Amino acid sequence: MTVKEIFDTMEYGPAPESDKNAMEFLDKHRRSFGLYINGKWVSKKDTFPAVNPASGETLAQLAEASSEDVDAAVKAAQKALPEWVKAGGAERARYLYALARQVQKHSRLFAVLESLDNGKPIRETRDIDIPLVARHFYHHAGWAQLMDTELRDFKEIGVVGQIIPWNFPLLMLSWKIAPALAMGNTLVLKPAEQTSLTALLFAEICHNVGLPKGVVNIITGHGSVGAALANHPGIQKIAFTGSTEVGKIIRKDTAGSGKKLSLELGGKSPFIVFEDADLDSVVEGVVDAIWFNQGQVCCAGSRLLAQESIADRLYEKLKARLQKLVVGNPLDKGIDMGAVVSPEQLKTITSFVDKGKNEGSEVWQLENIPSGGCFFPPTLFLNVSPASVIVQEEIFGPVLVAMTFRSHQEAIKLANNTRYGLAASLWTENINLALDVTPKIKAGTVWINTTNVFDAASGFGGYRESGFGREGGLEGLMEYVKPRNEKAFAEKSFAFKVSGSTKTRGEALDRTPKMYIGGKQARPDSGYSLQVLNPAGQVAGEVGEGSRKDIRNAVEAAQAAGKWAENTGHARAQVIYYIAENLSARKKEFEERLTDACGYSAKEATLELSRSIDRIFTYAAYADKYDGRVHNTTSRNVTLAMNEPLGVLGIVCPEEFPLLGFVGTVIPAIAMGNNVVVIPSESAPLSATDFYQVLDTSDVPGGTVNIITGPKETLATELARHYDVEGIWYFGTQEGSKNVEVLSVDSMKRSWVNYGKHYDWLTNPLEKEFLRKACEVKNIWVPYGA
């Protein structure tokens, strides 16, 4: 063949990587692996095969853990915990550095083993997965070193159960294990049954670096092993990455247990192309967004939204590029796509694509793919309808669906027309446009003119059915610590001991305060009111009996009042200072209310009121100061970690400290830009209903604070169930806490509950936690380079 002929045909030439090292590793273990518990390998009779999806070849036999094995692993982690904590951050950092170096040293073995086990191209495991794994351990070694200074108010959670999926096996392991160890936790991890081999090699490395036994335990097996781990009473935190379906099961099963939970779930992320984008870069971006890792990426840009004016041109370029992709042997360094993970996954993808074809969408697929093995062609559906199954469901395969938009507003609406909220990618040469659109997209990560870039220094995680919690960055570390001050929530109430001898003045009976919805006083839908008794059993006043309909009206008003979040922190602070000043001006009236309705002494009333005013000033001060960070990620990016409000937050106030419990929750929530629906103390709601007069005179926009009085648990149930409430805080009983956690599952709202314990409202030891719980972090990646 002449050089000219080579250039003319650009014939593809295979360049396979050797699997020799990986095969030697498997042979050394006689192609059979046990469980790694308490620093030892435990072999099992009950086994299942690890299969190479590209060839169908069985690579090894893996152990199926029993519930006794899960128990043994948790016990080992419990036993190892005190020493691991005592070792201190600096010593733990040494272990993490050692693990990072071992991953680098064995990177070739890891990369080949991962490709064999998962089917992903060696080019990706070699250049993306494994370097990121090492980076994770290095980065978190640094956090371990700095824990005592940077996180001095926090401590380890305890024993952590970690469950991971098959799409980035070792990378997901590192996202879980590195922060957990850095913060002093011990753990039990279960890899996905399809891809456990690199986790087992990692266990060997833990052993070789001399990690104390029981600190890391790796158990293999199917979903039931994950369920046994999640439900084990010896676990204090569960970190789960996987499907939304299983995430919901875990949330339900652990409700009321007090286990801390982070869920990284599925996605259907938009890839938005504006008309001024550089279309050639966009095409390569699409390749990385949906054909990287065979599209088995939770944050894959699987919905292409193209501005109408350039859509046809872009589609032509994409069709041409698609035909040039090479699907083949994962160990071949020249291929673009390998095999999908299993025959089951191949079936799922095929069935979605068949549905798309039956719906009549125009489809383009690469024709030339290997026969045998789990191969699926890169697929492009054009001009699909937004309601189509293939647009709404996560396919988790190399399938892109494309549709057009005309205006920016339409692009935002289409982007948010999904039950997920994991990531988004925006393409435009206009940075002002990009940064205007970014906050309006409900997604935990937004990439501008780039896609699918990750780093240990940046948080990653979702909204809505994509889950909650973040992994990576400082925000990810917070998932592995708890406040050092454990007395902030106590078994015993901090409330004043009131005598019950107070006499009511009786004037309150003359007026029944209404509820407060959309900035207006509102009668309860039921038309009924409830008597409020003081501790002496006398009637202190009446309030409206709120119901489901009132909650719905209040949520609607809160959703409609979106503008509050768009204000600057400075503007919000001005309004909140004004609230504090107006409350001060009505000091006497509120003090009387507290003595009348709650049986407080004058001194107690003065104390609760002055703390309330102080609390409002404090959170007003934070409104423009609790801001984000610019993360120091490895590529040429500015990675902006922005604290965003959750949206509409439901707040169920504590029974004690009726005024302080109200302002102590409502004010930090609105300081961060949320709109709230509040259920005040059921037994003493009158100081909260008086409060709307303060709001009315303080320039708080209608709908930002909505107050519904009535039966607390019934109203909390409605709030927890409501699909348009993004988060809920509940301060009440243990049973009520569990109820809120269970009911939050369907809408996957973030919940913060007190499990029947009592918070120290007077001293507010967790001042900043209220701000943190009122926000979620959005990471925005803006690459640079001329």
Segment interacting with ligand NAD (CB under 6 A) among 89-97, 220-228, 588-596, 606-614:
220-228
Query: Of residues 516-545, which lie at the interface with ligand NAD (CB under 6 A)?
Result: none
142 versus 459: smaller Cβ distance to ligand NAD: 459
AA letter at 87? A
Are 724 and 559 in contact by the 8 Å Cβ rule? The answer is: yes
61 versus 104: smaller Cβ distance to ligand NAD: 61
95 versus 166: smaller Cβ distance to ligand NAD: 166
Considering the complex, what minimum distance in angstroms separates the CB of residue 526 from ligand NAD? 41
Are 472 and 459 in contact by the 8 Å Cβ rule? The answer is: yes
Residue of 34, 184, 266, 680 interacting with ligand NAD (CB under 6 A): 266
Residue of 50, 178, 201, 265 interacting with ligand NAD (CB under 6 A): 265
Q: Is 119 in the site for ligand NAD (CB under 6 A)?
A: no
Query: Of residues 570-629, which lie at the interface with ligand NAD (CB under 6 A)?
Result: none
192 versus 380: smaller Cβ distance to ligand NAD: 192
Residues 6+ apart with CB under 8 A from 339: 53, 54, 119, 294, 330, 373, 374, 375
Q: Please pick, among 298, 598, 653, 775, the residue that the annotation labels catalytic.
A: 298
- Give strand pairing partners of 113: none
Cα separation, 461 vs 302, whole angstroms: 17
479 is catalytic: no
Q: What is the DSSP string of 586-601?
A: THHHHHHHHHHHH---
Segment interacting with ligand NAD (CB under 6 A) among 189-197, 201-209, 594-602, 659-667:
189-197
Q: Does the CA dihedral 245-249-255-259 come out positive or negative?
A: negative
Q: Which of 513, 684, 511, 526 is nearest to 596 (CA)?
A: 684
Considering the complex, what minimum distance in angstroms separates the CB of residue 633 from ligand NAD? 17
Query: Of residues 379-398, which lie at the interface with ligand NAD (CB under 6 A)?
Result: 394, 396
Q: Is 230 in the site for ligand NAD (CB under 6 A)?
A: yes
Cα angle 574, 607, 514; round to 5: 65
Are 651 and 552 in contact by the 8 Å Cβ rule? The answer is: no
250 versus 775: smaller Cβ distance to ligand NAD: 250
- Environment class of 614 (CB within 10 Å of its CB; exposed 0-12, middle 13-18, buried 19+): middle
Residue of 161, 242, 338, 647 interacting with ligand NAD (CB under 6 A): 242
Segment interacting with ligand NAD (CB under 6 A) among 142-150, 190-198, 513-521, 602-610:
190-198
Considering the complex, what minimum distance in angstroms separates the CB of residue 264 from ligand NAD? 3
> How far apart, in Å, are the Cα atoms of 99 and each of 89, 94, 546?
15, 9, 57
166 versus 781: smaller Cβ distance to ligand NAD: 166
Considering the complex, what minimum distance in angstroms separates the CB of residue 250 from ligand NAD? 6
Q: Is 192 in the site for ligand NAD (CB under 6 A)?
A: yes
Residues 6+ apart with CB under 8 A from 499: 535, 599
Q: Is 465 in the site for ligand NAD (CB under 6 A)?
A: no
Considering the complex, what minimum distance in angstroms separates the CB of residue 228 from ligand NAD? 8
Q: Is 272 in the site for ligand NAD (CB under 6 A)?
A: no
Segment interacting with ligand NAD (CB under 6 A) among 129-137, 243-251, 374-382, 702-710:
243-251
Segment interacting with ligand NAD (CB under 6 A) among 225-233, 531-539, 724-732, 752-760:
225-233
Residues 6+ apart with CB under 8 A from 579: 616, 620, 667, 694, 695, 698, 700
Cα separation, 275 vs 405, whole angstroms: 10
- Residues in contact with ligand NAD, total (CB under 6 A)? 28
> Which pair of structure tokens corresponds to residue 528?
């009924």
397 versus 546: smaller Cβ distance to ligand NAD: 397
Are 696 and 530 in contact by the 8 Å Cβ rule? The answer is: no
Considering the complex, what minimum distance in angstroms separates the CB of residue 380 from ligand NAD? 20
Considering the complex, what minimum distance in angstroms separates the CB of residue 556 from ligand NAD? 30
Q: Pattern of binders to ligand NAD over 411-450, x per CB under 6 A? A: -----------x----------------------------
Residue of 241, 302, 709, 739 interacting with ligand NAD (CB under 6 A): 241
Considering the complex, what minimum distance in angstroms separates the CB of residue 668 from ligand NAD? 28
Q: Which of 497, 528, 496 is nearest to 512 (CA)?
A: 528
Q: Is 453 helix (H, G, I), strand (E, B) or coil?
A: coil
Are 416 and 442 in contact by the 8 Å Cβ rule? The answer is: yes
Q: Please pick, among 193, 264, 591, 776, the residue that the annotation labels catalytic.
A: 264
Cα separation, 667 vs 408, whole angstroms: 33
Q: Is 714 helix (H, G, I), strand (E, B) or coil?
A: helix
Q: Is 243 in the site for ligand NAD (CB under 6 A)?
A: yes
452 versus 689: smaller Cβ distance to ligand NAD: 452
Residues 6+ apart with CB under 8 A from 3: none
Cα separation, 6 vs 672, whole angstroms: 62
50 versus 579: smaller Cβ distance to ligand NAD: 50
Segment interacting with ligand NAD (CB under 6 A) among 245-253, 513-521, 633-641, 755-763:
245-253
Query: Of residues 279-298, which lie at the interface with ligand NAD (CB under 6 A)?
Result: 298
Cα separation, 335 vs 598, whole angstroms: 73
Residue 278 has φ and ψ, to the nearest 5°, of -80, 105
98 versus 235: smaller Cβ distance to ligand NAD: 235
653 is catalytic: no
Q: Pattern of binders to ligand NAD over 157-186, x per CB under 6 A? A: ------xxxxx-------------------
Segment interacting with ligand NAD (CB under 6 A) among 236-244, 346-354, 589-597, 678-686:
236-244
Segment interacting with ligand NAD (CB under 6 A) among 36-44, 129-137, 265-273, 431-439:
265-273
Q: Is 744 helix (H, G, I), strand (E, B) or coil?
A: coil
Residues 6+ apart with CB under 8 A from 426: 272, 274, 434, 437, 438, 441, 446, 447, 448, 449
**Residue that has been written with the tokens 């004690």 in this structure:** 656
295 versus 546: smaller Cβ distance to ligand NAD: 295
52 versus 302: smaller Cβ distance to ligand NAD: 302
Residues 6+ apart with CB under 8 A from 661: 653, 654, 655, 681, 731, 761
Residues that bind ligand NAD (CB under 6 A): 163-167, 190, 192-193, 222-223, 226-227, 230, 241-243, 246, 249-250, 264-267, 298, 394, 396, 422, 462
- The residues carrying an active-site annotation are 264, 298
